Amino acid sequence: MPMRRLPSYFIAQMLPWFGLSIGGLTLAFLTTQLVRVLPIFAGADMDLCEAMRALMLLLAPIVGWALTPAFAISIFFTTARMASDGEIVAMHAAGLGWGRLAVGPVILAAAFSFASGVCWLHLGPRSHAALQSLALDLVVRASAHQLKPGHFISPMGSVAFFANSRSADGQYKGIFLEDRRHKDYPFFLLAESGTIDADTLGQGLVVNLGPGMGFYWGETGGKRPPVALSFETLESRLSFGTDLQDRLNFLPKILAVPTGDLFTALADGSAPHRWRFEFWRRVAGPVGFLAMALVSIYLALGLGIRRSGIAVTSAVLLFFVYHLSGRQCESLHLSGQLSAPVAALAPAVVIGIVFVLSLSLRKI
């Protein structure tokens, strides 16, 4: 095989395994997330287009995360297959050291490192922002659709609803509504009829009632006296705000902040403390990928793993060590023992140092 064709040959051998690996990892992560979030969106009448859009929005951050283990699996699997078929031995017999064989994988690692940077720094935050907006709409709609006559329903922890019946045109009859969003000013509404619909823009419910009565029981000590009122028609918007965010805690707001805004906020000191770590965590994504990719290439080609089972196990263990060390460094940062850049970049830096030391102790 001509030398100029060797890198492209190695890349061609890796790409199928890489595609299978990233597809499997993405599917596994999507499945775990869907199990968590589907009960939250139950009753939102989500159509196929919305479901597909939500899945597509999840792909960018998931792919950014999955690139690292997928590359490790692909290089280990490829070299194990080539070694078992005798190709690696033949190449060594032709005078090709593992450093020459690594040219193709290193080129592929550099390309995927760039893709990782795009995912971590740009596509991930944009996807999270769009996904949060869609999730809020779905949660609000699910809250409105779960209202059933004859049952006390709490669409959010601060609001309770009851109706005797519901007509074919969507009118509720015999309505009781309790609103405790403001703890120092809870009130109750009784109405003969009304409608309650989702208010996706206001992130809550739109209530149209009438005729009826409202009650506020007052405060202990007489600071605010009891109040009773009657109305022919009443329109109110119940914004759930904090309650919605509590339900969507699997999508932290900080993940949707554009990377450039994190950097700008740091410059003027207005960002929360955690924003600093988030900025460096995103920077560490592509850096960590490149470090892990180089170490995987060295272990796969330099040590000559020949069995696919051992290869995949090595790739998975390598990723979990990297992932768990990242979690540990984050905990040390939150406890004040490590600065944000050190905590975010430490796992990648340590792996890079090990890689350089290994090269210095082995003749390429």
Tens digits of per-residue pLDDT, 337-348? 888 889 898 888
**For the segment 81-109, what is each residue's pLDDT rounded down to a tens digit?**
888 888 877 887 777 777 788 889 999 99
Residue 70 CA, chain-centre distance (Å), reads: 18
Cα 249 to Cα 132, 246, 253, 255: the distances in Å are 10, 5, 8, 11
Among 81-95, 139-153, 256-270, the least confident range: 256-270
∠ CA 95-100-292, rounded to 5°: 140
pLDDT of residue 16: 92
> Which tokens go with 135?
């999730």
User: What is the per-residue pLDDT for 364?
Assistant: 46
Q: Which residues of 311-338 are buried (b: 16+ CB within 10 A; e: fewer)?
A: bbebbeebbeebbeebeebbeebeeeeb
Q: Is the pLDDT of residue 24 over 60?
A: yes
